[in-house]
Chains A and B, each alone.
Chain A
Amino acid sequence: MSAMKFTVSAIAMVAASATGAMARDNIQIAGSSTVLPYATIVAEAFGENFDFPTPVVEGGGSGGGRKKLCEGVGENTIDIANSSSRIKQSDIDLCATNGVNEIMEVRIGYDGIVFASDINGPDFALTPSDVYAALGATVAKDGALVANPAKTWADANAALPAQQILAFIPGTKHGTREVFDIKLLEEGCKATGAYDLFIAASAGADDDAKKEEAVAKCLEVRTDGASVDIDGDYTETLARIDANKNGVGVFGLSFYQNNTDKLKVATIDGKIPTVESIAAGDYPVSRPLFFYVKKAHIGVIPGLKEFIEFFVSDDMAGPEGPLAAYGLVSDPELAKTQADVAGEVPMGPLN
């Protein structure tokens, strides 16, 4: 009869625990894996110094986090979505259909995106044009569009080392890829003249359609194995470079700063990526990092307001704080962000 006893006690247990379901007392955060380390650093310090429990921080990518945020209002939905790119109108619409009307947008700072190669390899001094000439699917050559013929970096730009082209770039689901596309491929495409050729060759109805088609063409990377999309995180990119010393990878600045003993960073437009050069706006490839807060949860989930205020406080996000030490480029307009957070100002429509 022990099976019977087991069953009865199991049912009793489930019943007892189901009635004991209680209000959530911890903050739940999900989203971008780029923002994740910063969020964990703040969560840890928050748990140590406040009477509230340490928030639970999940990854899942910027888009995934925003989607989860927009699932609705209530204790079984998350409170904050981390995002390495700005929220999209489609997210806001999804939020609105699920009753999430007021979202606060908080910009925590900027993140640099760097090219880095094996520490013992040659130095790289890249420009967006070089990147496009090496990785674009179709490039301009003698005034005509041809499938990218470059085999080595020296083929793309004679000043670069004669090393076989092998780039590990973030996969399309990463927020980092968007910045890579806009700041490097598109810029490079325009600078090398390929953009104009794409427009000339476009069969679009009007100028806007032609431009759109040209931009889309610019963002196509070669598929002959010289450029590899990495869908995992930076640790995977690092492992690939470890395995193939010819590789050049795209990393976040903070990841590079934690692995300076294995990686050599490339300059872009002659600028070395550092927290300072990005803050000054010299280094061209950077992007803002955000988190989005569901305003309806403030006052319901204990500690939520305190947490977001703590996140953007000078002790954390300021230029001397632990986030800057880890690689976040502090936002020069942090004071305005602090005021917005204190006043619980929801974000307006996207412009």
Chain B
Amino acid sequence: MSDATSQMPAAARPKHSLFEPDARTRRRNAAETRFRFFGASAIVVAVLALVILLASVLGSGLGAFRQTFIHIPITLDATALDKGGNRNPEDMKKVTTIGYAKILEQGLKAAIAEKGLTVDPALTAKQIAGLMSQDAAAQLRNQVLADPSLLGQTIEFSALANGRVDGFLKGRVTLESAARDSNISPAQLNLVSEMKDAGLVSLDFNPAFITSGDASEVRPEAAGLGVAILGSAYMMLIVLVLSLPIGVAASIYLEEFAPKNKLTDMIEVNISNLAAVPSIVFGILGLAIFINFMGLPQSAPIVGGLVLTLMTLPTIIIATRAALKAVPPSIRDAALGVGASKMQAIFHHALPLAMPGILTGTIIGLAQALGETAPLLLIGMVAFVRETPGAPPEGFFDPASALPVQVYNFTQRADPAFVERASGAIIVLLVFLVIMNAVAIMLRRRFERRW
């Protein structure tokens, strides 16, 4: 043998050394470099897309959280607002918002005169009053009805400014665009500039965007997400309370107890199929079963919650079964070996170990349900809802909206001010999703056990 090696001609020896890669190695290395490059560029593209998305949403939506207010002292004329003079809220309700709008108009004029601002003589009284939102009168009325003792006093009132005035302070509306705009004139905006310098007008944080309900086309400045947030929260609660126990129980039975036969095979295949069914199909089902057959009300979170439960169940079942499968059989065997019953082995040992997977699956299913619009379209939740739903459980039956639906709703409005509010609603929706995902990660970390 050794002879044979020593006699081998020098040419048979490898020509290259370890320090000089041959053609094949170079090809392999090049392939790896290429792959790394592709991978890195995929990441760069994904990150860029995310950055562009976030930048555009934040750029156009953050403004929705701040709103222009006109701060003026308002003298609440008791003779005009309480004609009976008995301070009885029932009688005072007869004065409509039109009456309160007049009071606001006088207050604004007085405040402008007091500050000595120059008013373009071409401006009509209606145009000056038009600087304020039509919602201001409703706000003032509600405030007075809630506290009749305010009558006769002069109060400091912060009235919402008209959407175009708000756009002017935010830079969306300019003097040039106002010249072409039939809803606002440059003279009005000049007055606003003066009022701003005099401290009558300012951009402040607007909690009403989070708390109040939707508003009509003529007052985009008053539109808020309160009803949508509550509606989404109610639906998520219903989905969680219904789909988690049903989903987990179904998967435990299927995974641990059910006999392996044709029937369970078929159920398994169908669950996987259901997970892939387009969500609008569940909407049609919900309309037929929950509204037409069971007679539940339209636009109610209970129906939305039930429909989304149907949609989320397959996701949870699949996740739970995968999590149960991932628990090593040795854990169950050990439990059974020391005399535990099958149920004890599952509930005391297998289920706690599968918990992180179950919770992650549940929260991902919930997050998916939170962003769902299509099935809600059919059950009347894509609607103009202004009234805040009541507390549960009655509140589940009150009309409500949902966050993704509200985004869709805002984008369909004619007034350009709604674009900002749609983006603002997207920000709130994203915050909700981030919170839910953070909770999922936290729970997983907490329950995770290694072996």
Residues of A within 8 A of B (CB): 1, 3, 6-7, 9-10, 13-14, 16-17, 20-22, 24, 26, 28, 30, 33, 36-37, 39-41, 43-45, 47-49, 51, 53-54, 56-59, 71, 74-76, 78, 119, 233-235, 254-255, 257-261, 315, 322, 325-326
Interface residues of B in 371-430 (CB under 8 A from A): 380, 382-387, 392-394, 396-399, 411-416
Contact A76 B297 (CB under 8 A): yes
CB proximity of B237 to chain A, nearest CB, Å: 10
Contact B216 A44 (CB under 8 A): yes
What CA separation (Å) do A252 and B248 show in the bound complex? 52
Q: Which of A57, A75, A235, A326 contacts B411 (CB 8 A)?
A: A235
Contact A1 B246 (CB under 8 A): no
CB proximity of A302 to chain B, nearest CB, Å: 13
Can you list 7 A-B contacts (CB < 8 A)?
A14-B242, A20-B394, A20-B397, A41-B216, A56-B399, A58-B382, A235-B414
Could you give, for residues 293-331 of chain B, a 1 whenever the CB lies within 8 Å of some chain A CB and a 0 otherwise? Answer: 001111100100000000000000000000000000000
CB proximity of A318 to chain B, nearest CB, Å: 12
Q: Which residues of A contact B244 (CB under 8 A)?
A: 6
Q: Which of A56, A234, A255, A322 contacts B218 (CB 8 A)?
A: A322
Contact A54 B394 (CB under 8 A): no
Residue from A234, A259, A261 with most neighbouring chain B CB atoms (10 Å): A261
Contact B386 A44 (CB under 8 A): yes
Q: With contacts A58-B383, A261-B177 known, is A28 near B216, CB below 8 A?
A: no
Q: Which residues of B contact A3 (CB under 8 A)?
A: 245, 248-249, 252, 347, 351
Q: Which of B138, B217, B299, B397 contacts A21 (CB 8 A)?
A: B397
Contact A43 B386 (CB under 8 A): yes
Contact B394 A28 (CB under 8 A): no
Which 6 pairs show the lowest CB-CB distances between chains A and B? A40-B216, A58-B383, A57-B384, A7-B245, A54-B386, A37-B217
What CA separation (Å) do A234 and B386 show in the bound complex? 23
Q: Which residues of A contact B351 (CB under 8 A)?
A: 3
Q: Output the nearest chain B residue to A326 by Cβ-Cβ distance.
A: B218
Flag whether B178 is at the interface (Cβ < 8 A): yes
Contact B414 A259 (CB under 8 A): yes
Q: Which residues of A contact B386 (CB under 8 A)?
A: 43-44, 47, 54
Contact A40 B384 (CB under 8 A): yes
What CA separation (Å) do A44 and B385 show in the bound complex? 9
Flag whether B183 is at the interface (Cβ < 8 A): yes
Contact B416 A259 (CB under 8 A): yes
- The prevalent SS among residues of B at the interface is loop
Contact B217 A40 (CB under 8 A): yes
Q: Output the nearest chain B residue to A57 by Cβ-Cβ distance.
A: B384
Q: Which of B180, B248, B399, B411 contacts A261 (CB 8 A)?
A: B180
Contact A9 B241 (CB under 8 A): yes
Contact A26 B387 (CB under 8 A): yes
Q: Which residues of B contact A260 (CB under 8 A)?
A: 180-183
Flag whether B155 is at the interface (Cβ < 8 A): no
Q: Which residues of A contact B93 (CB under 8 A)?
A: 51
Contact A257 B347 (CB under 8 A): no
Q: Output the nearest chain A residue to B380 by Cβ-Cβ distance.
A: A58
Q: Which residues of B contact A59 (CB under 8 A)?
A: 382-383, 412
Contact A10 B241 (CB under 8 A): yes
Q: Which residues of B contact A233 (CB under 8 A)?
A: 412
Residue from A3, A57, A235 with most neighbouring chain B CB atoms (10 Å): A3
Q: With contacts A45-B97, A78-B298 known, is A53 near B387, CB below 8 A?
A: yes
Q: With contacts A6-B244, A13-B241 known, is A258 near B414, CB below 8 A?
A: yes
Q: Which of B141, B178, B242, B394 contacts A10 (CB 8 A)?
A: B242
CB proximity of A156 to chain B, nearest CB, Å: 27
Contact B241 A28 (CB under 8 A): no
What CA separation (Å) do A41 and B215 show in the bound complex? 8
Q: Which residues of A contact B180 (CB under 8 A)?
A: 119, 260-261
Contact A17 B218 (CB under 8 A): no
What CA separation (Å) do A261 and B415 show in the bound complex? 11
Q: Which of A36, A45, A257, A261 contacts B178 (CB 8 A)?
A: A261
Interface residues of B in 69-125 (CB under 8 A from A): 93, 96-98
Q: A44-B215, A233-B412, A257-B183 are in contact. List 15 more A-B contacts (CB 8 A).
A: A3-B347, A28-B380, A33-B412, A40-B216, A41-B216, A43-B216, A47-B386, A49-B96, A54-B386, A56-B384, A56-B385, A57-B384, A75-B295, A76-B298, A235-B414
Contact A28 B299 (CB under 8 A): yes
Flag whether B134 is at the interface (Cβ < 8 A): yes
Q: Output the nearest chain A residue to B418 by Cβ-Cβ distance.
A: A235
CB proximity of A256 to chain B, nearest CB, Å: 9
Q: Output the nearest chain A residue to B243 by Cβ-Cβ distance.
A: A10
Q: Output the nearest chain A residue to B241 by Cβ-Cβ distance.
A: A10
Contact A7 B412 (CB under 8 A): no
What CA separation (Å) do A323 and B286 show in the bound complex? 36
Contact A254 B299 (CB under 8 A): no
What CA separation (Å) do A30 and B244 show in the bound complex? 34
CB proximity of A351 to chain B, nearest CB, Å: 33
Q: Which residues of A contact B219 (CB under 8 A)?
A: 44
Flag whether B274 is at the interface (Cβ < 8 A): no
What CA separation (Å) do A48 and B101 show in the bound complex? 13
What CA separation (Å) do A36 and B351 show in the bound complex? 51
Contact B241 A30 (CB under 8 A): no
Q: Which of B217, B241, B380 contacts A326 (CB 8 A)?
A: B217
Contact A37 B302 (CB under 8 A): no
Q: Which residues of A contact B246 (CB under 8 A)?
A: 7, 10
Q: Which residues of B contact A20 (CB under 8 A)?
A: 393-394, 397
Q: Which of B217, B302, B397, B398 contacts A41 (CB 8 A)?
A: B217
CB proximity of A283 to chain B, nearest CB, Å: 16
Q: With contacts A13-B241, A45-B97 known, is A56 near B217, CB below 8 A?
A: no
Residue from A56, A254, A257 with most neighbouring chain B CB atoms (10 Å): A56
CB proximity of B284 to chain A, nearest CB, Å: 14
Contact A41 B177 (CB under 8 A): no
Flag whether B291 is at the interface (Cβ < 8 A): yes
Q: Which residues of A contact B214 (CB under 8 A)?
A: 40
Q: Which residues of B contact A7 (CB under 8 A)?
A: 245-246, 249
Contact A48 B299 (CB under 8 A): no
Residue from A1, A26, A30, A40 with most neighbouring chain B CB atoms (10 Å): A40
